Amino acid sequence: MIPEITKRFSPTTFTEQTLTEEQLTILFTAAGRAASSFNEQPWRFIYALKQDKEAFNNILDCLVEGNQEWAKNAAALVITVSKKTFTKNEKPNPHNRHDLGLAVGNLSAQATAMGLHLHQMGGFSAEEAINNLNIPEGFEPVTAIAIGYYDGEFVEKPRKAVEEIMFKNEWK
């Protein structure tokens, strides 16, 4: 397997090291290279760097308490957002969240290659994110992500055996 996959895991501690705008631009450029249904590119990313205290806290405030406790030490926080309809006809896009996930997968691989770690979160208030961050109608906040450097041990979470997730020819 490629190291961008084997080295990835979600830490709950981060070093003090900050991130630059340029690094975030690389991460989101990688995200934007993902495939998407009808090339809609439904993903959007609202981010704040730790050094921009007010903006950082604005995102931090959206997280549930248990996530705030460790995510406050991240170098950057992100709210991922997805557009619910196709722009060409405003019909529902049933794959919008799938495609956002692909974009985050790219971002994750790029971050890992840059020596960074992500920790994605579902534990946040979408309502607060919409209000605090000015998210327009038709767009949905989907996850929060903490990004930063980690200098501890690799922590491997248990995985399903590959035989449990691959079925030859039919469901077994």
Ligand X SMILES: Cc1cc2nc3c(=O)[nH]c(=O)nc-3n(C[C@H](O)[C@H](O)[C@H](O)COP(=O)(O)O)c2cc1C
Asked whether 117 and 139 are in contact (CB, 8 A), the reply is no
Which residues 6+ apart lie within 8 Å of 75 measured at CB?
14, 17, 18, 19, 49, 50, 147, 148, 149
Q: How many residues are listed for the chain in this entry?
A: 172
Alpha carbons 22 and 1: distance in angstroms, whole number: 28
Beta bridge partners of 146: 77, 119
**Could you tell me which stretch among 17-25, 46-54, 81-89, 118-126 binds ligand X (CB under 6 A)?**
118-126
Instruction: State the nearest-atom distance from the C-beta of 125 to ligand X, in Å.
Output: 12
Which residue in the set 123, 128, 133, 139 belongs to the binding site for ligand X (CB under 6 A)?
A: 123
Asked whether position 59 contacts ligand X by CB under 6 A, the answer is: no
Q: Which residues in the 5-44 window bind ligand X by CB under 6 A?
A: 9-10
Size of the site for ligand X (CB under 6 A): 9
Instruction: State the nearest-atom distance from the C-beta of 169 to ligand X, in Å.
Output: 29
Binding site for ligand X (CB under 6 A): 9-10, 67, 120-123, 143, 157
